Amino acid sequence: MKGQKGSYLNNKPKRRYSKLILLAVEAVLICAVVAGYFIFMRDFVHKKDGNSVKQEQNASGGKNTSGKGDTKVSTTPTPTELTEEEKREKEAAELLKQADAYAVQYDYDKAISLVKGFENYTQVKVLNDALSGYEEKKSTLKRFGAYDSADQINHLFFHILVADDSKAFDGDYRQKGYNYYMTTIPEFNAMLEQLYDQGYVLVQLHDVAKKVKNKDGSESFEPGDIMLPPDKKPLVISQDDVNYYEYMKEDGFARRIILDKDNNPTTEMLMDDGSVSVGDYDMVPLLEKFVKEHPDFSYKGAKGILALTGYEGALGYRTNDANSPSYKQDQKTVKKIVKVMKEKGWEFASHSYGHRDMGKATYAFTIKDTDRWEKEVGSLIGPTDIYIFPFGIDIETTMGHYSSKKFEYLKKSGFDYFCGVYKAPWMQIKSDYVRMTRRPMDGEAMLKFPERLKDLFDLSKVIDPNRPKWED
């Protein structure tokens, strides 16, 4: 018993100490929980107040309206805001898109100038890389590209395109003329594809030969400075009689040029049920579409030349009829369309007023015809120095210098470029004018003289199967 009692007395203090330790641990745990709670509440309240301030800022345009003068507003950018560096990178990227658009059409000078106009462009890597690329490509360009001189450049011309061959080639008395002079839309599209694949590039007539001012103050003409890659071939395209004559409107042709909802030139066509359809029914919208899809087919935005007579108005509007109830509005419409088209790289030419043989025309008739064209058509399209001869018949047959009074009057009327028709390229650049022949892309050339086009096309892939056989 003595031994057991001693054992009990010896263990009693240890139990008391163990109990104290447990109480201490519990106290520590309670303190930790309480402290955690207060920390949580502090952070929660702080976050709530911060959101309130931010909401008040947004509602008041960024100003502190809480009434607490010492409230601090965070200056950290929101996810929708861009830093100055990010803004600059975005501006550089947008500028580069525009510069690339110039470069793809061989206007490297404009692309280079655009990049160098960007503030501190040397500090932007993408701009420096692009600039090096532009300058390198520019250094490889050659005057006239694959050609050695301007007189090798082709000038191809079309009449109004056949949009519905079932109407144009329906066996009536007009079929033979359409088969002789016209090109169908499928044929035109096939030609564009082959020209593009062979490296042809559209240029303006004023690119081919340009007017320069001499040291003595006089003016003269000289070959242009078309700078293209060595494998590219300059090409001029024009279209005659872009008037959409009345006799054609029910034979499967467009009836006039209009501007669409995006202010782009397109065409209207009269349908069988009397409705009017808007679409790619002639050369203008087709060429616009092709260049949009193949921007490198155009040198600095060049498109084509539209040659207009006057005796049935212009572009499908009867601006020759002063008694028409829409006469004034039609004049305004033509002016608006022409303005837009010029901005898009199109040029305009006189095709005479009455479409007569100007080789046989008298001097008096030449004056009358030219003056009337200027009054009724020139007043709408603005100044032009291009004269495209009706039927391709020149005012003179001389291979030397023009010498007739007819030339003197046309020159006095502002015409410097004169275009006839021949089976191959031919050009004459004189001090006071330029002559250039055009090659017809019509049924006669394709069916009767296919050898004349073999340097341009594989006609087996061009000729419309719905085109009638040739009849002499």
Which pLDDT band, with edges at 50, 70 and 90, does 30 fall under? low
Distance CA 408, CA 411 (A): 5
Residue 14 pLDDT > 60: no
Give the model confidence (pLDDT) of 409-431 as tens digits.
Answer: 999 999 999 999 999 999 999 99
Among 27, 84, 74, residue whose Cα is nearest residue 49: 74
> What DSSP designation does 216 have?
T
Which tokens go with 266?
């397109």
Position 6 scores a pLDDT of 40
Position 63 scores a pLDDT of 45
Q: ∠ CA 103-104-106 to the nearest 5 degrees?
A: 60
Q: Match domain 143-461 to its CATH number in 3.10.20.30, 1.10.3720.10, 3.40.50.720, 3.20.20.370.
A: 3.20.20.370
Residue 304 pLDDT > 70: yes
Question: What is the rounded average pLDDT of the residues 32-60?
Answer: 47
Location of structure tokens 């000078």: 109
Residue 235 pLDDT > 90: yes
Across the chain, what does the average pLDDT equal?
Answer: 88
Q: Is 214 left (phi over 0), alpha (psi -120 to 50) or beta?
A: beta
The reported pTM is 0.82
Position 81 scores a pLDDT of 78
Distance CA 444, CA 309 (A): 23
Residue 311: Cβ-neighbour burial (10 angstroms; 0-12, 13-18, 19+): middle
Of 25-39, 128-142, 187-201, 325-339, the poorest mean pLDDT is in 25-39
Question: What is the rounded average pLDDT of the residues 233-244?
Answer: 98
Residue 203 pLDDT > 60: yes
Position 391 scores a pLDDT of 97
Give the model confidence (pLDDT) of 310-356 as tens digits.
Answer: 999 999 999 999 999 999 999 999 999 999 999 999 999 999 999 99
Residue 175 pLDDT > 70: yes
Which tokens go with 246?
């009345």
Give the model confidence (pLDDT) of 345-387 as tens digits.
Answer: 999 999 999 999 999 999 999 999 999 999 999 999 999 999 9
Distance CA 421, CA 404 (A): 20
Check: CB of residue 280 under 8 Å from CB of residue 266: yes
Give the model confidence (pLDDT) of 76-124 as tens digits.
Answer: 555 567 787 888 889 999 999 999 999 999 999 999 999 999 999 999 9
Q: First vs last Cα of the chain: how many Å apart?
A: 150
> What DSSP designation does 368 have?
H
Position 57 scores a pLDDT of 46
Among 290, 341, 301, residue whose Cα is nearest residue 107: 301
Of 29-33, 264-268, 331-335, the poorest mean pLDDT is in 29-33
Residue 167 pLDDT > 50: yes
Which pLDDT band, with edges at 50, 70 and 90, does 23 fall under? low
The one-letter amino acid code at 271 reads M
